[in-house]
């Protein structure tokens, strides 16, 4: 047991849950990554690199500081650690990050198309748009910078061009909920686009209301840190 054990166990449970439900695309694969910010420190827990989720234990979870110095963990951390650091530094409201390769949302990573506001619950929780982050090689500083450049919209989901999806949350539960809500929206949007008919999006006044509600919640979360 260490001071970070609770964080590591919580991360592990949610990472395995996501894996079991296909959010990393391959049950035996090692794609995607999950992290949680340690409260009161410039430190975070993150899944290791190249290890299947099914066999992970809490001892395999890595603890890093914001300079990428490894504090705990016998294995190398995810190669996307720099991207997670960039998000934590830019978005103090975010305490958990889920990078998935979920199927329906990934469609939009290869057609390079954002997902607009379609449903009340999705807009309120995720934001008015799921924007596309320009492509850069996995684990590169360029990718981290491309992601950081999109974060000022204060939304909670982003599509990584030709790669996958980023889902953020004030807690890991919220980040996982974002992934679920995104998959629902992506499924409906992909099917709706296939009809060739006009897509109905939420009215602007509704989008504005949910934007304000989300901003007030983010401000409250930051004050409580």
State both tokens at 95: 């305490």
Residues forming beta bridges with residue 36, ordered by sequence position: 45, 96
Q: Which residues are catalytic?
A: 80
How far apart (Å, rounded) are the C-alpha atoms in residues 126 and 201? 15
How far apart (Å, rounded) are the C-alpha atoms in residues 23 and 17? 9
| Residue 36 burial (10 A CB sphere; 0-12, 13-18, 19+) | buried
Could you tell me which of 164, 200, 124, 221 has the C-alpha nearest to residue 34? 164
């Amino acid at each position: 047991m260490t001071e970070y054990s609770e964080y590591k166990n919580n991360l592990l449970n949610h990472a395995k849950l996501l894996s079991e439900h296909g959010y990393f695309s391959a049950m035996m694969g090692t794609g995607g990554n999950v992290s949680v910010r340690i409260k009161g420190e410039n430190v975070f827990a993150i899944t290791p690199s190249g290890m299947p989720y099914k066999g992970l234990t809490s001892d395999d979870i890595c603890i890093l500081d914001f300079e990428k110095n490894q504090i705990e963990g016998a294995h190398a951390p995810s190669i996307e650690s720099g991207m997670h650091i960039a998000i934590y530094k830019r978005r103090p409201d975010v305490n958990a990050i889920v990078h998935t390769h979920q199927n329906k949302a990934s469609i939009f990573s290869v057609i390079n198309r954002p997902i607009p506001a379609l449903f009340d619950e999705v807009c309120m929780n995720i934001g008015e748009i799921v924007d596309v982050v320009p492509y850069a090689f996995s684990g590169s500083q360029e990718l981290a910078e491309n992601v950081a450049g999109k974060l000022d919209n204060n939304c909670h989901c982003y599509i990584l061009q030709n790669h996958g999806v980023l889902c953020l949350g004030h807690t890991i539960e919220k980040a996982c909920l974002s992934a679920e809500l995104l998959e629902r929206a992506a499924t409906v949007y992909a099917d709706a686009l296939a009809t060739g008919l006009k897509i109905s999006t939420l009215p602007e006044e509704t989008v504005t209301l949910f934007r304000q509600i989300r901003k007030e919640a983010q401000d409250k979360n930051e004050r409580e840190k």
